[in-house]
Amino acid sequence: MPSTAARVVLVTGVSRFLGARVANTLQADPGIERVIGVDTVPPTTSLGRTEFVRVDIRTPGIARVISSAGVDTVVHLSLVTGQAGPRAKAKELNVIGTMQLLAACQRSPDMRKLVVRSSAAVYGSSPRDPAVFTEEDEAVEAPAHGFAKDTAEVEGYVRGLTRRRSDLTVSVLRFANFLGPGVDSPLTRYLAMPVVPTVLGFDPRLQFLHTDDGVEVLRRMTVEDHPGRFNVAGDGVLLLSQALRRAGRPYVPVPAQSIAAFGELGRRFGGMPAFSPELLRWLMHGRVLDTSRLAAELSWRPKYGSEEAFADHVSGRGRGVLLDRLASVIGRD
């Protein structure tokens, strides 16, 4: 028996969208004996043969699950982008949860492999960054707060574990923003606003990843050995203005100083997303990833480019009528 083949897989954050999708994909693989899903809340959808264990990864309970089930592969997906609840709670879940999980992994003699869902947010967004990030690039301005800082810290702890347990196969995946039917994130809530505010004088370059492709990458990383850090994003680049035009969504450029206040009002009275400083920076300077390392490692390209992922995301929501009509009027030649 090859020592690195995944037999017992533990998926964290299984009650959330990505976790549930990954667990469902992994349990369809006959080579995997058991799939164990953990989360703090029970799953809303059926998980099939995935065994659900309600455990908070911030507690030592997770170590007992890992050792008693003889888990050999951990797929860590429970990083939350926050914004739904208080920031301190999200940070606790991300950073303390990961520390506790990694401590349990280090202890367990059965552990073979760790797959971590990280984020392209580790690169930050600034006008002094290179146009395209490779895995070797580091943020010019290190993320100082929010989700980006969490991911940077999580990656730091993962590096620590890799150092101490050199026998583990550790894959860190830096995902671009997920889009696709059913995805709920600060980005999708932003895009769903009735009139989308953009930052006056800036038009960021954006990349999106379709969840289908994200799940496929996570599956490949789990059942095969691909150690290292990898950028994961759909091919191609969209400008924010272009994406919004294609979606037929009306948008209004707002000066950067007032957009935060604007967003705060929307959050308080309209249940809309708040503009965290990192979202604001991303909306100003954007971020593009070089995905050639992943493509070479897996000999695989995402099925959906950034553009198709975006189109698939908005297709379920219906285009705005006004722009369509305007375009069809002047397009008649």
Name the site residues for another protein (rule: CB under 8 A): 127-132, 134, 137, 199-205, 233, 235-239, 241-246, 256, 284-286, 288, 290-292, 295-296, 301, 305, 307, 323, 326-327, 330-331, 333
User: Least distance (Å) from another protein to the CB of residue 213?
Assistant: 13
* Pairing, β 196-199 against β 251-254: parallel
Q: Cα dist. 258→243, 253, 282, 290 in Å? A: 23, 11, 16, 33
Q: Closest CB to another protein among 268 and 301?
A: 301
Q: Closest CB to another protein among 131 and 261?
A: 131
Q: Closest CB to another protein among 95 and 259?
A: 259
User: Least distance (Å) from another protein to the CB of residue 236?
Assistant: 5
Q: Closest CB to another protein among 182 and 277?
A: 277
**Are 20 and 14 spatial neighbours (Cβ–Cβ below 8 Å)?**
yes
User: Least distance (Å) from another protein to the CB of residue 97?
Assistant: 32
User: Least distance (Å) from another protein to the CB of residue 20?
Assistant: 29
Q: Closest CB to another protein among 92 and 138?
A: 138
**Residue corresponding to tokens 């923003």:** 177
User: Least distance (Å) from another protein to the CB of residue 247?
Assistant: 8
User: Least distance (Å) from another protein to the CB of residue 205?
Assistant: 5
Q: Closest CB to another protein among 64 and 301?
A: 301
**Are 196 and 249 spatial neighbours (Cβ–Cβ below 8 Å)?**
yes
